[in-house]
């Protein structure tokens, strides 16, 4: 299975986030799965991929050409796919991934996570979407998603799109237990 992990590129964040990213990479690799990520070599992206590589795992990065030209790519991963731009990067990640896990991150990570939720809501992505809520990082977003549902911008059924966990071990367990969400989500996409 190819598991896409969205994660921060910042290196100025708390150690607890780095520990979770590294542990998640190790767990994915030791479970025999491949990490797919944004291709960066620093921040949580670097910790994630280094963790997976330390366990002999396969790691595929998907990165836009301008980021490679700026030297932002991870130098030691198994495979690097270079795309034309950010949009084609996301498209490629979703094409090759069977599951999604969102680690803490900035607006890029938030964009990727919300796109995963949107694609699943529209039936264009079928795999699990796991939110790794390390140190309660995603609590404000989860409250906002509750608000969207309360205000009828989303349906109650849409809560089944994502699964929230606190620890890396729970993320992998949630993927293993995933049974699907809805056969035809398009039938409830229009509110």
pTM score > 0.85 for this model?
Answer: yes
pLDDT at position 43 is 97
Q: How many domains does the chain have?
A: 1
Which residues of the chain, if any, have pLDDT below 70? none
pLDDT at position 86 is 95
The alpha carbon of 172 is separated from its chain's Cα centroid by a whole number of angstroms, namely 12
Is residue 167 situated within a structural domain? yes
pLDDT at position 54 is 98
Is residue 158 situated within a structural domain? yes
pLDDT at position 74 is 97
pLDDT 10s digits, 140-178: 999 999 999 999 999 999 999 999 999 999 999 999 999
pLDDT at position 8 is 96
Is residue 188 situated within a structural domain? no
Backbone φ and ψ for 136, nearest 5 degrees, come out as 60, 25
Is residue 185 situated within a structural domain? no
pLDDT at position 115 is 97
- Residue 62 sits in a domain of what CATH number? 3.40.50.450
Is residue 44 situated within a structural domain? yes
d(CA 35, CA 22): 12
d(CA 34, CA 38): 13
Is residue 148 situated within a structural domain? yes
Is residue 123 situated within a structural domain? yes
Domain that holds residue 99: 2-178
pLDDT at position 51 is 98
pLDDT at position 96 is 98
What is residue 65's three-state secondary structure?
helix
pLDDT 10s digits, 129-149: 999 999 999 999 999 999 999
Is residue 95 situated within a structural domain? yes
- Contact predicate 9/108, CB 8 Å: yes
pLDDT at position 189 is 82
pLDDT at position 165 is 98
First to last CA, the chain: 33
């Amino acid at each position: 299975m190819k598991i896409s992990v969205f994660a921060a590129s910042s290196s100025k964040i708390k150690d607890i986030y780095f520990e979770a990213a590294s542990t998640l990479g190790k767990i994915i690799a030791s479970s025999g799965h491949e990490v797919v990520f944004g291709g960066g070599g620093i921040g949580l992206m670097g910790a994630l991929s280094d963790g997976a590589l330390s366990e002999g795992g396969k790691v595929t990065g998907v990165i836009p050409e301008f980021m490679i030209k700026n030297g932002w790519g991870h130098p030691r991963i198994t495979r690097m796919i270079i795309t034309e731009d950010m949009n084609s990067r996301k498209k490629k990640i979703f094409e090759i991934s069977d599951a999604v896990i969102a680690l803490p991150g900035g607006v890029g990570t938030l964009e990727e996570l919300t796109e995963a939720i949107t694609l699943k809501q529209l039936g264009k992505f079928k795999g699990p979407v796991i939110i790794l809520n390390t140190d309660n990082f995603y609590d404000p977003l989860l409250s906002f998603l509750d608000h969207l549902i309360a205000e009828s911008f989303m349906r109650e059924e849409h809560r089944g799109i994502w699964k929230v966990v606190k620890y890396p071990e729970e993320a992998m367990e949630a993927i293993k237990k995933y049974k699907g969400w809805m056969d035809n989500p398009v039938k409830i996409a229009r509110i």
